[in-house]
Chains A and B, each alone.
Chain A
Amino acid sequence: MLNSLLSQYTRSLILVAVLLLIVILEVLEVRAAIYPGLLPFFEWARSSSWLGLIGTTYGSIYATVEAVHLLSMAVIGGTVLATDLRLLGVVFRDLPSETLTKGTHKVFSAALISAIATGIFCAAGVGDKVYYMEVFWIKMLALVAGSLFVFLVKQPLLNSMPHDEINPWTIRLLAVTSLLIWFTVAATGRWIGFS
Protein backbone atom coordinates (compact mmCIF):
# COMPACT_ATOMS: atom_id res chain seq x y z
CA MET A 1 0.00 0.00 0.00
CA LEU A 2 2.66 2.51 1.08
CA ASN A 3 4.94 1.25 -1.61
CA SER A 4 2.43 1.83 -4.37
CA LEU A 5 1.64 5.28 -2.96
CA LEU A 6 5.34 6.13 -2.94
CA SER A 7 5.95 4.99 -6.48
CA GLN A 8 2.79 6.52 -7.87
CA TYR A 9 2.96 9.87 -6.11
CA THR A 10 6.68 10.43 -5.57
CA ARG A 11 6.62 14.07 -6.67
CA SER A 12 3.57 14.99 -4.67
CA LEU A 13 5.03 13.43 -1.53
CA ILE A 14 8.36 15.20 -2.04
CA LEU A 15 6.47 18.49 -2.43
CA VAL A 16 4.57 17.89 0.81
CA ALA A 17 7.85 17.06 2.55
CA VAL A 18 9.50 20.23 1.23
CA LEU A 19 6.58 22.44 2.29
CA LEU A 20 6.54 20.80 5.73
CA LEU A 21 10.29 21.29 6.04
CA ILE A 22 9.92 25.00 5.23
CA VAL A 23 7.22 25.38 7.90
CA ILE A 24 9.27 23.48 10.49
CA LEU A 25 12.44 25.48 9.76
CA GLU A 26 10.40 28.67 10.07
CA VAL A 27 8.83 27.61 13.37
CA LEU A 28 12.23 26.63 14.77
CA GLU A 29 13.60 30.01 13.66
CA VAL A 30 16.44 28.40 11.75
CA ARG A 31 16.55 31.37 9.35
CA ALA A 32 17.24 33.80 12.20
CA ALA A 33 19.97 31.48 13.45
CA ILE A 34 21.73 31.13 10.09
CA TYR A 35 21.47 34.79 9.05
CA PRO A 36 24.31 36.29 11.17
CA GLY A 37 26.67 33.54 10.00
CA LEU A 38 26.24 34.68 6.39
CA LEU A 39 27.57 38.19 6.97
CA PRO A 40 31.29 37.26 6.75
CA PHE A 41 30.66 35.64 3.38
CA PHE A 42 28.99 38.76 1.98
CA GLU A 43 31.74 40.98 3.39
CA TRP A 44 34.35 38.70 1.86
CA ALA A 45 32.52 38.78 -1.49
CA ARG A 46 32.51 42.57 -1.43
CA SER A 47 36.04 43.32 -0.25
CA SER A 48 38.23 40.28 -0.88
CA SER A 49 36.80 38.17 -3.69
CA TRP A 50 37.90 38.82 -7.28
CA LEU A 51 34.36 39.62 -8.31
CA GLY A 52 33.91 42.20 -5.59
CA LEU A 53 37.30 43.78 -6.26
CA ILE A 54 36.70 44.11 -10.00
CA GLY A 55 33.17 45.39 -9.44
CA THR A 56 34.21 48.05 -6.98
CA THR A 57 37.38 49.14 -8.77
CA TYR A 58 36.09 49.46 -12.33
CA GLY A 59 32.75 51.27 -12.39
CA SER A 60 32.46 50.87 -16.16
CA ILE A 61 32.80 47.09 -16.00
CA TYR A 62 30.21 46.98 -13.23
CA ALA A 63 27.75 49.07 -15.23
CA THR A 64 28.29 46.97 -18.35
CA VAL A 65 27.64 43.75 -16.45
CA GLU A 66 24.52 45.40 -15.04
CA ALA A 67 23.43 46.06 -18.63
CA VAL A 68 24.01 42.40 -19.56
CA HIS A 69 21.97 41.48 -16.48
CA LEU A 70 19.15 43.71 -17.76
CA LEU A 71 19.35 42.23 -21.26
CA SER A 72 19.14 38.71 -19.83
CA MET A 73 16.13 39.86 -17.83
CA ALA A 74 14.55 41.15 -21.03
CA VAL A 75 15.02 37.79 -22.77
CA ILE A 76 13.64 35.94 -19.74
CA GLY A 77 10.67 38.30 -19.80
CA GLY A 78 10.12 37.81 -23.52
CA THR A 79 10.14 34.00 -23.34
CA VAL A 80 8.05 33.90 -20.16
CA LEU A 81 5.46 36.29 -21.57
CA ALA A 82 5.23 34.46 -24.89
CA THR A 83 4.86 31.05 -23.22
CA ASP A 84 2.60 31.94 -20.34
CA LEU A 85 0.37 34.32 -22.24
CA ARG A 86 -0.06 31.53 -24.80
CA LEU A 87 -1.04 29.15 -21.99
CA LEU A 88 -3.58 31.76 -20.86
CA GLY A 89 -4.83 32.09 -24.44
CA VAL A 90 -3.90 35.76 -24.84
CA VAL A 91 -1.32 35.60 -27.65
CA PHE A 92 -0.43 33.06 -30.38
CA ARG A 93 -3.85 31.47 -30.18
CA ASP A 94 -3.29 29.89 -33.58
CA LEU A 95 -0.11 28.11 -32.48
CA PRO A 96 -0.06 24.98 -30.30
CA SER A 97 1.01 25.83 -26.76
CA GLU A 98 3.20 22.70 -26.74
CA THR A 99 5.33 24.22 -29.50
CA LEU A 100 5.86 27.43 -27.56
CA THR A 101 6.53 25.72 -24.25
CA LYS A 102 9.17 23.48 -25.79
CA GLY A 103 10.56 26.03 -28.23
CA THR A 104 11.30 28.81 -25.76
CA HIS A 105 12.67 26.70 -22.92
CA LYS A 106 16.26 26.52 -24.13
CA VAL A 107 16.55 30.27 -24.62
CA PHE A 108 14.85 30.87 -21.27
CA SER A 109 17.36 28.60 -19.52
CA ALA A 110 20.32 30.26 -21.24
CA ALA A 111 19.05 33.72 -20.29
CA LEU A 112 18.45 32.59 -16.71
CA ILE A 113 22.00 31.28 -16.44
CA SER A 114 23.36 34.52 -17.88
CA ALA A 115 21.20 36.56 -15.48
CA ILE A 116 22.35 34.55 -12.47
CA ALA A 117 26.02 34.75 -13.47
CA THR A 118 25.90 38.53 -13.99
CA GLY A 119 23.71 38.86 -10.90
CA ILE A 120 26.35 37.19 -8.72
CA PHE A 121 28.90 39.71 -10.00
CA CYS A 122 26.56 42.65 -9.32
CA ALA A 123 25.68 41.38 -5.84
CA ALA A 124 29.35 40.78 -4.98
CA GLY A 125 30.16 44.41 -5.74
CA VAL A 126 27.62 45.61 -3.15
CA GLY A 127 27.75 42.54 -0.89
CA ASP A 128 27.90 44.53 2.34
CA LYS A 129 24.80 46.48 1.28
CA VAL A 130 22.50 43.76 -0.08
CA TYR A 131 23.05 41.58 2.97
CA TYR A 132 20.97 43.99 5.05
CA MET A 133 18.18 44.39 2.48
CA GLU A 134 14.97 42.49 2.96
CA VAL A 135 14.12 42.93 -0.70
CA PHE A 136 17.37 41.17 -1.74
CA TRP A 137 16.45 38.09 0.26
CA ILE A 138 12.91 38.17 -1.11
CA LYS A 139 14.44 38.20 -4.58
CA MET A 140 16.71 35.25 -3.80
CA LEU A 141 13.78 33.32 -2.36
CA ALA A 142 11.65 34.09 -5.41
CA LEU A 143 14.52 33.15 -7.73
CA VAL A 144 15.05 29.77 -6.06
CA ALA A 145 11.31 29.08 -5.92
CA GLY A 146 10.89 30.18 -9.53
CA SER A 147 13.74 28.03 -10.84
CA LEU A 148 12.56 24.94 -8.94
CA PHE A 149 9.01 25.63 -10.10
CA VAL A 150 9.92 25.89 -13.77
CA PHE A 151 12.42 23.05 -13.99
CA LEU A 152 10.88 20.54 -11.58
CA VAL A 153 7.16 21.27 -11.77
CA LYS A 154 6.00 23.28 -14.76
CA GLN A 155 8.11 21.86 -17.59
CA PRO A 156 7.78 18.21 -16.51
CA LEU A 157 3.99 18.49 -16.46
CA LEU A 158 3.66 20.46 -19.71
CA ASN A 159 6.05 18.13 -21.54
CA SER A 160 4.47 14.96 -20.22
CA MET A 161 1.17 15.12 -22.05
CA PRO A 162 -0.86 17.08 -24.62
CA HIS A 163 -2.04 20.31 -23.01
CA ASP A 164 -5.69 19.74 -23.81
CA GLU A 165 -5.64 16.70 -21.55
CA ILE A 166 -4.59 18.82 -18.58
CA ASN A 167 -7.25 20.61 -16.59
CA PRO A 168 -7.40 24.17 -18.02
CA TRP A 169 -7.40 25.66 -14.53
CA THR A 170 -4.17 23.84 -13.71
CA ILE A 171 -2.62 25.37 -16.80
CA ARG A 172 -3.89 28.84 -15.88
CA LEU A 173 -2.53 28.43 -12.36
CA LEU A 174 0.87 27.45 -13.74
CA ALA A 175 0.93 30.38 -16.16
CA VAL A 176 -0.16 33.02 -13.62
CA THR A 177 2.27 31.71 -10.99
CA SER A 178 5.14 31.74 -13.46
CA LEU A 179 4.30 35.26 -14.67
CA LEU A 180 4.02 36.65 -11.13
CA ILE A 181 7.14 34.93 -9.86
CA TRP A 182 9.40 36.24 -12.65
CA PHE A 183 7.81 39.66 -12.33
CA THR A 184 8.63 39.52 -8.60
CA VAL A 185 12.24 38.51 -9.27
CA ALA A 186 12.65 41.40 -11.71
CA ALA A 187 10.79 44.02 -9.67
CA THR A 188 12.56 43.26 -6.39
CA GLY A 189 15.83 43.40 -8.34
CA ARG A 190 15.04 46.91 -9.52
CA TRP A 191 14.18 47.86 -5.95
CA ILE A 192 17.57 46.69 -4.68
CA GLY A 193 19.02 49.56 -6.67
CA PHE A 194 16.75 52.11 -4.99
CA SER A 195 17.22 51.06 -1.38
Chain B
Amino acid sequence: MDNEKKMTDKEITAIGAGVAILGSLLFYWFGQFISTIELLELAYGSLNFFNNPLTF
Protein backbone atom coordinates (compact mmCIF):
# COMPACT_ATOMS: atom_id res chain seq x y z
CA MET B 1 0.00 0.00 0.00
CA ASP B 2 2.75 2.38 1.00
CA ASN B 3 4.56 1.76 -2.26
CA GLU B 4 1.52 2.60 -4.32
CA LYS B 5 1.13 5.87 -2.56
CA LYS B 6 4.69 6.83 -3.44
CA MET B 7 4.17 6.38 -7.18
CA THR B 8 3.40 9.89 -8.32
CA ASP B 9 1.97 10.87 -11.67
CA LYS B 10 5.37 12.15 -12.79
CA GLU B 11 7.02 8.88 -11.87
CA ILE B 12 4.51 6.78 -13.81
CA THR B 13 4.96 9.02 -16.85
CA ALA B 14 8.73 8.72 -16.52
CA ILE B 15 8.59 4.93 -16.42
CA GLY B 16 6.11 4.74 -19.29
CA ALA B 17 7.96 7.16 -21.55
CA GLY B 18 11.32 5.66 -20.58
CA VAL B 19 10.27 2.12 -21.41
CA ALA B 20 8.65 3.19 -24.70
CA ILE B 21 11.62 5.26 -25.89
CA LEU B 22 14.34 2.93 -24.61
CA GLY B 23 12.51 -0.05 -26.14
CA SER B 24 12.26 1.57 -29.57
CA LEU B 25 15.88 2.71 -29.46
CA LEU B 26 17.14 -0.76 -28.55
CA PHE B 27 14.94 -2.21 -31.29
CA TYR B 28 16.41 0.27 -33.79
CA TRP B 29 20.03 -0.34 -32.85
CA PHE B 30 19.58 -4.10 -32.79
CA GLY B 31 18.11 -3.91 -36.31
CA GLN B 32 21.06 -1.75 -37.41
CA PHE B 33 23.50 -4.22 -35.92
CA ILE B 34 21.91 -7.19 -37.73
CA SER B 35 21.73 -5.41 -41.09
CA THR B 36 25.35 -4.26 -40.73
CA ILE B 37 26.50 -7.82 -40.05
CA GLU B 38 24.51 -9.03 -43.05
CA LEU B 39 25.98 -6.34 -45.26
CA LEU B 40 29.52 -7.17 -44.18
CA GLU B 41 28.79 -10.82 -44.80
CA LEU B 42 27.54 -10.00 -48.29
CA ALA B 43 30.56 -7.84 -48.98
CA TYR B 44 33.28 -10.07 -47.63
CA GLY B 45 31.64 -13.46 -47.21
CA SER B 46 32.66 -13.49 -43.58
CA LEU B 47 32.07 -11.62 -40.35
CA ASN B 48 35.72 -10.75 -39.95
CA PHE B 49 35.80 -6.94 -39.91
CA PHE B 50 39.29 -6.86 -41.35
CA ASN B 51 38.83 -9.62 -43.88
CA ASN B 52 39.32 -7.27 -46.75
CA PRO B 53 39.27 -8.55 -50.36
CA LEU B 54 41.88 -6.00 -51.28
CA THR B 55 44.64 -7.31 -49.12
CA PHE B 56 43.85 -10.88 -48.16
Contact = CB atoms under 8 A, between A and B. Distances in A.
| A–B contact (CB under 8 angstroms) | yes
A156 interface: yes
Interface in B7-54: 8-22, 25-26, 28-29
Given A170-B15, A184-B28, A157 B10 contact: yes
Contacts of A8: 9
Interface string A141-175: 01001000100011011001100011100100110
A153 B25 contact: no
Q: Interface size for chain A: under 10, 10 to 19, 20 to 34, or 35 or more residues?
A: 20 to 34
B25 A184 contact: yes
Q: Interface size for chain B: under 10, 10 to 19, 20 to 34, or 35 or more residues?
A: 20 to 34
Nearest to B12: A12
Contacts, number: 70
Interface of B: 6, 8-22, 25-26, 28-29
Interface of A: 8-12, 14-16, 19, 138, 142, 145, 149, 153-154, 156-157, 160-161, 165-167, 170, 173-174, 176-177, 180-181, 184
